[in-house]
A and B are shown apart, each in its own frame.
Chain A
């Protein structure tokens, strides 16, 4: 595996240089402020050139984030940030791709795309901002909401089991899986940095409290449940990663830290090999292709 980080064009900038003039529109106390701060730090720590950074989101409270990050960016459709980002990445492997979005965006309406981003190992960093509720539509249960949650459309309490995004991404074959809390800006920044430096599909789940609509999971309860991975946790062992998540579940805990990292070829690298094998070149003579259709 080459160590060349061709997808990270670097410059020397400070965190403030990644801020735009737009002020975040999130509620006071929203975890998304913390995710954004962590993201600024990660970008500055790496020194990502904003001209070569593409920040892509879908729809939801957290999907407004690109407006606050100095970069090229796309604010796409609900659930579709992943495939749009795939197109950008495959077309231009020299770009750094940063995707962010919520739990409904990524695991309900966009849930069909997640396995393919992971198994194809598209070189991007996907930051899930999981508040376990639909915020922009004023508080409905999401696929990660705890079952008993009373909400807008569940006045008698929810009846569905939640899913665990981290467990899904491990199963789907993501080559980098981590989890952190929005209140832990330092860890969030560190994991986003590592995720962006990783060549492949990096998934970072950030539990990001919604003080307005989620009355079950607040900053305090997230902190109380968080449990750092053991110091001897082997990030190269998929079984260890699954085991850590399952044990935490049983104990009502949220595992935080880097769960899993695997070095494997990205889709764009495999495609580049294909082109190489075909002797591919933009100036390849079209007549040679057309001649194949002579009778």
Chain B
């Protein structure tokens, strides 16, 4: 394995500073010019329970969290037990000892380093500094750049006073000393990149918030729900600076209701939720489609059904995203691959919502929500912004007039002569209730036919590879990043493999699916859900018969899993 592609996993009890330790490592690596891709799990409860933060860092671009770690730092016995089976010859293993709550039976070939984290922190007068001892040791052992780490620690603790800062820096230094006294036997070493990059480090959730600001978000309403709440946190912090409005609603029904109200009033509006919240919004999505009121709804998917696995990864809301709501209800569904998409496709979601005056759903997922990644500095001016079609004030206004492109101009309240009703009742071109069969058929056709051009409005689906291949892999969401790496490895092994990475999931770019399939022997579709949801839609809408490869264990795929399955299908 490339020594410049390292994965460090820090694990222990929630509340012990696991997450902040991982954050320090991540930020330091990014400062040193490396690409980072992180992966975290934490318990659904506030106190206690197993927490894990994994940082993958490399000088080369990264698309996923990797197969498994090269370095494990265990804060307690539970963390060790849960990760022991992944220790393999060559892995470096740093643990709390002596004085910790466990004594590991280190497997052969594993490079173990005992650092008395708890004991040292106690000696220094604060058990809270345990993670700083660990961070110091990791920094010394694996050359995680010391200077950036010290700067980041200072930035974090300065506002808490010099005593706290000193205590943390002392613990960090002591950790380095303890590690320096041990002979280094493993080969792992973080090497700073010579290349200076203009990047930002963002989590998927924060990036969605940023994308919304770039798109010109005016109004945000949401109800707290794991794993989507950080979007509201980011927006709450920054939207007031732009003069916008955020409201925490009493439930998800109210969230989307408020969004539709704001949108009717002429503003760009969105909400963000997870599966349970989206389920509650079903009826209101129909109102958005029927009344042709633009809205953006972000669904950060988690394990379902019902309350399910609130903090775990799954891609299982596609059925609901595409068809959730009663009656024939159209919408546009996008899904993001990584943090960079979280910015770009959120802007795209607003553009499509404003242009097509319909609900636009943006699907993210539980692992991406908290995964921090380096992305090129997003220059706001580089993102095109689309405004809704506005009434020109000429003649008699008809809110739902059937035009050449089936999109009717909108008039915001305050526009003289633009008075109209936005209604969920079936209506004629004036908005007046009309239940005749002929009118319903004509108006349904209007609302659906305006969506005919969506497929041509977004970038064509990315095809990974050229010519013919023995096997084609279709992936969506954060699974795409895993497939990218798997395909690179398969090609390096001499296999003929192509990838197809749709971001627009609905309406489906059917012709592009067909064209891709025509170049592939077999089609495989890995997705993190039980039923094979995208595969279902592909079978329904195209002639493709993909082989579903589904998992739903609360974790994303790894590249090795995709490589294994592909080889199995090829043999």
**Across the interface, which residues of A come within 8 angstroms of B505, CB to CB?**
none
A76 partner, pick from B287, B414, B419, beta carbons under 8 A: B287
CB distance from A135 to the nearest CB of B (A): 17
Within 8 A of A (CB), among B477-512: none
CA distance A67 to B241 in the complex (A): 39
Instruction: Flag whether B219 is at the interface (Cβ < 8 A).
Output: yes
Does B250 count as interface, using CB distance less than 8 angstroms?
yes
Which of A70, A282, A286 has most chain B Cβ within 10 Å?
Answer: A286
Known interface pairs A52-B414, A77-B284. Does A278 touch B241 (Cβ–Cβ under 8 Å)?
Answer: yes
Flag if A90 contacts B247 (CB, 8 Å): yes
- Given the contacts A275-B240, A281-B243, A88 and B419 also touching, CB distance less than 8 Å: no
* Bound-complex Cα distance A288 to B221 (A): 24
Contact at A293–B200, with CB atoms within 8 Å? yes
- Asked whether A290 and B241 contact (CB < 8 A) given A88-B264, A95-B265, the answer is no
Closest-CB distance, A228 to chain B (whole angstroms)? 35
The reply to whether A91 and B266 contact each other, CB–CB distance below 8 Å, is: yes
B461 at the interface (CB under 8 A from A): no
Nearest CB of A to B570, in Å = 41
Stretch at the interface among A79-87, A157-165, A231-239: A79-87
Which A residues are CB-close (under 8 A) to B148?
A: 295
In the complex, what's the smallest C-beta–C-beta distance from A47 to chain B, in angstroms?
16
Chain A residues with CB under 8 Å of B525's CB are none
Q: Which residues of B contact A267 (CB under 8 A)?
A: 247
Name the residue among A50, A95, A279, A290 with the largest chain B CB count within 10 angstroms: A290
Give 1 or 0 for each of A111-124: 1 = CB within 8 Å of chain B CB: 01101100000000
Given contacts A84-B258, A95-B413, contact A280 B241 (CB under 8 A): yes
Cβ A51 vs Cβ B419 within 8 A? yes
Smallest Cβ distance from B210 to chain A, in angstroms?
Answer: 7
B260: A residues at CB distance < 8 A: 76, 84, 87
Cα-based distance from A76 to B424 in the complex (angstroms): 6
Contacts of A295 in B (CB 8 A): 27, 30-31, 148, 199-201, 374
Asked if A87 and B257 sit within 8 Å, CB to CB, the answer is yes
Question: Number of contact residues on A: which range applies?
Answer: 35 or more
CA distance A86 to B254 in the complex (A): 9
Within 8 A of B (CB), among A110-154: 112-113, 115-116
Q: Is the CB of B380 within 8 A of A112?
A: no
B3 to chain A, nearest CB (A): 22
Please report whether the interface of chain B is mostly helix, strand, loop or mixed according to DSSP: mixed
B245 contacts A271, C-beta separation under 8 Å: yes
**Inter-chain contacts of B238 with A (CB < 8 A):** 289
Within 8 A of B (CB), among A36-87: 50-54, 56, 66-67, 70-77, 80, 82-87
A80-B253, A91-B261, A91-B267 in contact; A289/B420 too (CB < 8 A)?
A: no
Cβ of B242 and Cβ of A284 under 8 Å apart? yes
The 8 Å CB contact of B221, one of A53, A82, A87, A113, is A87
**CA A293 to CA B27, docked complex, whole Å:** 10
Bound CA–CA A295/B26 (angstroms): 9
> Range of interface residues on chain B?
35 or more
Q: A51-B413, A87-B262, A295-B27 are in contact. Are A72 and B242 (CB under 8 A)?
A: no
Instruction: Bits for A92-117, please: 1 = Cβ < 8 Å to B, else 0.
Output: 10110000000000000000110110
Q: A113-B250, A116-B254, A275-B243 are in contact. Are A74 and B414 (CB under 8 A)?
A: no
Whether A294 is near chain B, meaning CB under 8 Å from some CB there, is: yes
Closest to B268 in A: A91
Cα–Cα, bound, A288→B480 (Å): 32
A220 within 8 A of B: no
A1 close to B (CB within 8 Å): no
Q: Which residues of B contact A281 (CB under 8 A)?
A: 241-243
* Docked-complex contact B421 and A67, CB < 8 angstroms: yes
Please indicate the chain A residues that have their CB under 8 angstroms from the CB of B264 in the complex: 74, 84, 87-88
Could you tell me if B265 and A88 are in contact, using CB atoms closer than 8 angstroms?
Answer: yes
In the complex, the chain A residue whose C-beta lies closest to that of B203 is A293
Question: How near does chain B come to A86, taking the closest CB pair, in angstroms?
Answer: 5
> A95 near B284 (CB under 8 angstroms)?
no
B202 within 8 A of A: yes
Residues of chain B within 8 A (CB-CB) of A51 are 413-419
Given contacts A22-B432, A71-B419, A295-B199, contact A87 B259 (CB under 8 A): yes
Enumerate chain B residues within 8 angstroms of A282, measured Cβ to Cβ. Answer: 242-243
- The answer on a CB contact under 8 Å between B414 and A294 is no
CB of B209 to closest CB in A, whole Å: 9
Q: Is the CB of A74 within 8 A of B422?
A: yes
Given contacts A91-B245, A91-B266, contact A75 B425 (CB under 8 A): yes
B241, A90: Cβ atoms under 8 Å? no
In the bound complex, do residue A91 and residue B269 qualify as a contact, i.e. CB atoms below 8 Å apart?
yes
Q: B435 at the A/B interface (Cβ < 8 Å)?
A: no
Q: Say yes or no: is B213 at the interface (Cβ < 8 Å to chain A).
A: yes
Can you spell out 24 A-B residue pairs with CB atoms less than 8 angstroms apart?
Answer: A22-B432, A51-B413, A56-B261, A67-B421, A67-B432, A73-B420, A74-B261, A75-B424, A77-B287, A83-B254, A87-B260, A87-B263, A91-B245, A91-B262, A92-B414, A95-B265, A275-B240, A275-B244, A277-B240, A280-B243, A281-B241, A287-B380, A293-B202, A295-B374
Contacts from A to B (Cβ < 8 Å): 22, 50-54, 56, 66-67, 70-77, 80, 82-92, 94-95, 112-113, 115-116, 267, 271, 274-275, 277-282, 284, 286-290, 293-295
Q: A87-B260, A87-B261, A90-B258 are in contact. List 6 more A-B contacts (CB 8 A).
A: A50-B419, A80-B257, A92-B266, A280-B240, A284-B242, A293-B206
